[in-house]
Amino acid sequence: MISETQSTVLTDEQRKLSAVVREFADQVVAPAAYKYDTERRLPVEIIQQMGELGLFGLPFPVDVGGQGKDYVSLCLAVEALARVDQSIAVTLEAGVGLGIMPIFRHGTDEQKQCWLPDLVSGRALAAFGLTEAGAGSDAGATRTTARLDERAGEWVIDGSKQFITNSGTPITSVLTVTAVTGERTDADGVVHKELSSFLVPAGTAGLTVGPSYDKVGWHTSDTHPLTLDGVRVPAGNLLGEQGRGYANFLRALDEGRIAFAALATGAAQGCLEEALRYAKEREVFGHAIGGNQHIAFTLARMQARVHSARLCWLDAALKQVHGKPFKAEASVAKLVGGEAAMANARDAAQIFGGYGFLNENPVARHYRDSKVLEVGEGTTEVQLMIIARDLGLAS
């Protein structure tokens, strides 16, 4: 649902896009959400319909098969989908921001020609292998390594990754993997790991996609651990410059937090809509429960959270589009959005009472799903650390 504030800054084209995706979410995604959630299976047919709508190509130029839109447009689509199914929304968010964007930004012409056509069309998905058991927010603790076998002209990668979205679907085509390729010493003598990124095609020998995680929520989202045991890829599969892997993925993570905030806003909006509808319909002691001041005030607070979260992600996204610094704004948006989604899910479940405890109820799914919005793409504590640093405070 586009707010009045959004309507003053969005283009007619963006408003139409939001309406189209909202309709698709209501007519195609929502009716199937409970089925796929209980089956814990990504509906590839719905993902490919999203591809046909052009959603995976939104922020990419027409000359690579994209739609020629911007990051605001992508976030609008993510928000509209997250209203009814966060798993489907994060499949788009991760598929574009973490899957396609690194290849588009840092890939060679040959790499782009190889991978982008299927990815931007939604015929295939890409994953981003960064997180490890001891290296999540602290990416400098990465232990996966890559060494160049010059005689064979191949990189040999060994290590493991965890919590990798879109890594084991039937249409996953390639994974970007970060690995240590050496060390560098700063002028002050401090030694740092040199991180680089590599394109690893799905099915490469030595790459094992582990069983899907038994998660609290996001049951439909495809998430796996990865093991890389002597994985060999051609020297030309280095993505970007050697040693620039850390710098390259930092921008991807900052942008990802904006889209994550939009996803959280959609979840908060979905909870508000469901709870508001129920409060108007459910009668107790002869009148609708929405007439009770406590319920009415709870819904008012839910609306305030949605509005605040939406303004935050929109501010960060507009800064990104206009080439302005947005790191701190992205963290604010992610912090506010995640907390709004979690709080609205809790309040919506309470308004529904016993019905809010049934998994077939969308607010129950949002209740389970929303917790990860305070953890994924950098925990709440990491966002607070970034915001504090932007204020000039040590953290």
Active site residues: 377
In this structure, what DSSP letter does residue 118 have?
Answer: H
Distances (CA, A) of 83 to 35, 190, 266: 17, 47, 4
Residues 57 and 65: beta-carbon distance below 8 Å? yes
DSSP string, 3-34: -HHHHHHS-HHHHHHHHHHHHHIIIIIHHHHH
> d(Cα 9, Cα 55) in Å, to the nearest integer?
21
Provide the pairing of β-strand 207-209 with 154-165.
unpaired
> d(Cα 91, Cα 22) in Å, to the nearest integer?
16
C-alpha torsion 241→238→170→23, nearest 10: 20
> d(Cα 160, Cα 147) in Å, to the nearest integer?
15
Residues 172 and 202: beta-carbon distance below 8 Å? yes
Distances (CA, A) of 283 to 46, 270, 364: 37, 22, 21
Amino acid, single-letter form, for residue 222: D
DSSP string, 144-175: -EEEEETTTTEEEEEEEEEEEETSSSTTEEEE
